[in-house]
Amino acid sequence: MNTTTKTRRRFDMESLIALVLRTGVTSSFVLILVGIVLTFLRHPELEEASGSAVSSWLTVGHLTSFPDLLKELAGLRGRAWTTLGLGLLILTPTVRVGVSILGFLRQSDRRFVAITLVVFTALLVSLFLGNATS
Amino acid sequence: MTPLYLTLLTFAVSIFAGFLGSLLGLGGGLIVTPFLTLALGVDIRHAIAASIVAVIATSSGAAVAYVRDRMTNLRIAMFLELGTTSGAIAGALLATFVNERFLFVLFGLFLGISSIAMFRKRAQVGGGVIPPDSWADRLRLHSSYFDESLGREVRYRVTGTRLGLGLMVIAGIASGLLGIGSGALKVPAMDLAMRLPIKVSSATSNFMIGVTAAAGAGVYFLHGDIVPLVAGPVAAGVLVGATVGSKVLGKIQNQRLRSVLVAVLMLVAIQMCWKGLQG
């Protein structure tokens, strides 16, 4: 197509962003699925469980400690792999904003470098705020 | 219900949520939260955490195709994110001082009026004369995209940039205060104030909601509220649905997309008013 050849010559912001998103989405999807499959392989009893066993299964929290996460990943524990996938998915939009700062720098678009820098900072502030208040 | 059955059911429902969310630019939380709490009896905090993950999955999953196909206007999205992120911070700071129920009714009415205005626009083809806007010129927001249903490249000019930014601050405040996915307020703002083509509004809103949700999800993640065996199937299903949806958006007739959008926005408006009145 005409438009793609025209934009390919210079630096292409769209392809960069699409690449970041595709990488984040694909790898988190695979990790999440691996985790779910591992959980059911490890716990065959889950296929038969009912009642209270199900409700307790619905409240197994994710891992908040990084060393524990590494240990469980190595032990092929399902929830650790799913947790890693979910963490990666949650990070993807933030990485996307960070990478677009670099993209606009490359295009020497100073106005948009400033705009994305402010957005990136605001994102970090709101994460900090939310963590402090709740 | 066995866990395996629950997982597969969650996965299937999430595919649908991701499909619809990616087409309308509203995120997948609309369906996921009620499904998890009402049908599965998941704790509300865990359900909200999972639905925020669903919003990120819808946004990122669909944006792969939307950005590549230039349906998302990246420059508009990043400029307007100034409004949504700063609004979200203001909303979080204000949260302790305001009456939540009153706000639900207020935003619900606001959304209801916007969707009626969107409905009345349905007969217009091409959008008429777009008033010049110096901000849109300076920020180089005008662009074009290839519309599959029309079979041609659609060039569009952008207007109302300042008004659009102001409305995004309000949308951000709403999401910070009420924790609602503010896609419902973003799409009408881009459609009515900035006069973007309906598919560009949807794809650009879809792109932006991931950023607002990411801040919220980070908090839930650090607090351990994301249940892997609930949020995992949700995220995986939504990613599948959003990927399929992103391939469909271009092919849909613009008028039909608008009708479905207006109908869903009306439902959200009624739900918000109801929530405020019920308490």
B74 backbone dihedrals φ, ψ, rounded to 5°: -60, -40
- Does B148 reach chain A within 8 Å, measured CB to CB? no
Res. B231: pLDDT tops 90: yes
Task: Give the type of residue at B36.
Answer: L
Res. B5: pLDDT tops 90: no
Tell me which of B98 and B62 has the higher pLDDT: B62
Interface of B with A in 168-187 (CB under 8 A): 176
- Does B155 reach chain A within 8 Å, measured CB to CB? no
Would you call B187 helix, strand, or coil by DSSP?
helix
Minimal-distance CA residue of chain A relative to B227: A61
Q: What is the mean pLDDT of residues B237-253?
A: 95
The answer to whether A134 contacts B223, with C-beta atoms less than 8 Å apart, is yes
pLDDT at B33: 86
Q: What confidence tens digit (pLDDT) does each residue in A35-94 have?
A: 999 988 887 766 666 665 566 656 665 666 778 888 888 888 888 899 999 999 999 999
Tell me which of B252 and B178 has the higher pLDDT: B252
Alpha helices by DSSP H, A43-109: 52-57, 66-74, 78-106
Identify whether the C-beta of residue A60 lies closer than 8 Å to the C-beta of residue B229. Answer: yes
Identify whether the C-beta of residue B258 lies closer than 8 Å to the C-beta of residue B198. Answer: yes
Q: Name the pLDDT band for B53 (thresholds 50, 70, 90).
A: very high
A74 min Cα distance to partner chain B (Å): 17
- Does B9 reach chain A within 8 Å, measured CB to CB? no
Identify whether the C-beta of residue B155 lies closer than 8 Å to the C-beta of residue B129. Answer: no
ipTM of the complex, rounded to two decimals: 0.90
- The count of CB pairs under 8 A between chains A and B is 201
Q: What confidence tens digit (pLDDT) does each residue in B162-180 have?
A: 999 999 999 988 887 876 6
Select the residue of A17, A58, A131 nearest B227 (Cβ to Cβ).
A58
CA angle A110, A18, A105 (to 5 degrees): 15
Instruction: Tokens for B240, please give them.
Output: 């599948």
Q: By C-alpha distance, which of A53, A54, A94 is closest to B219?
A: A94
Contacts of B82 in chain A (CB under 8 A): 115, 118-119, 122
In chain B, DSSP assigns E strands to 143-147, 152-156
Handedness of CA B187, B189, B195, B200 (dihedral sign): negative
Contacts of B1 in chain A (CB under 8 A): 50, 54
Res. A7: pLDDT tops 50: no
What's chain B's average pLDDT?
Answer: 89
Task: Give the separation between CA A97 and CA A102, rounded to whole angstroms.
Answer: 9
Select the residue of B67, B219, B224 nearest A130 (Cβ to Cβ).
B219
- Does A98 reach chain B within 8 Å, measured CB to CB? no
Identify whether the C-beta of residue B237 lies closer than 8 Å to the C-beta of residue B14. Answer: yes
Q: Based on C-alpha coordinates, what's the Rg of chain B?
A: 18
Q: By C-alpha distance, which of B29, B87, B7, B86 is closest to B206?
A: B29
Res. B29: pLDDT tops 90: no
pLDDT at B30: 78
Task: Give the separation between CA B265 and CA B274, rounded to whole angstroms.
Answer: 14
pLDDT at B45: 83
Identify whether the C-beta of residue A80 lies closer than 8 Å to the C-beta of residue A35. Answer: yes
Res. A4: pLDDT tops 70: no
Q: What confidence tens digit (pLDDT) does each residue in B38-51 have?
A: 888 888 888 888 98
| Unique residue bearing structure tokens 């739900």 | B271
User: Residue A128: enclosing H or E segment and its boundaries?
Assistant: helix A110-133
The answer to whether B78 contacts A57, with C-beta atoms less than 8 Å apart, is no
Task: Give the separation between CA B45 and CA A98, rounded to whole angstroms.
Answer: 29
Q: What confidence tens digit (pLDDT) does each residue in A98-117 have?
A: 999 999 999 999 999 999 99
Supply the DSSP symbol for A107: T
Identify whether the C-beta of residue B266 lies closer than 8 Å to the C-beta of residue A100. Answer: no
Identify whether the C-beta of residue B181 lies closer than 8 Å to the C-beta of residue B24. Answer: no
Task: Give the separation between CA B58 and CA B80, rounded to whole angstroms.
Answer: 19
Would you call A74 helix, strand, or coil by DSSP?
helix
Q: By C-alpha distance, which of B87, B148, B261 is closest to A122?
A: B87
- Does A127 reach chain B within 8 Å, measured CB to CB? yes
Answering whether pTM is above 0.80, one says yes
Minimal-distance CA residue of chain A relative to B5: A47
A60 backbone dihedrals φ, ψ, rounded to 5°: -65, 110
User: Residue B214: enclosing H or E segment and its boundaries?
Assistant: helix B198-223
Interface of A with B in 23-82 (CB under 8 A): 24-25, 28-29, 32-33, 35-36, 39-40, 46-50, 53-55, 57-64, 78-79, 82
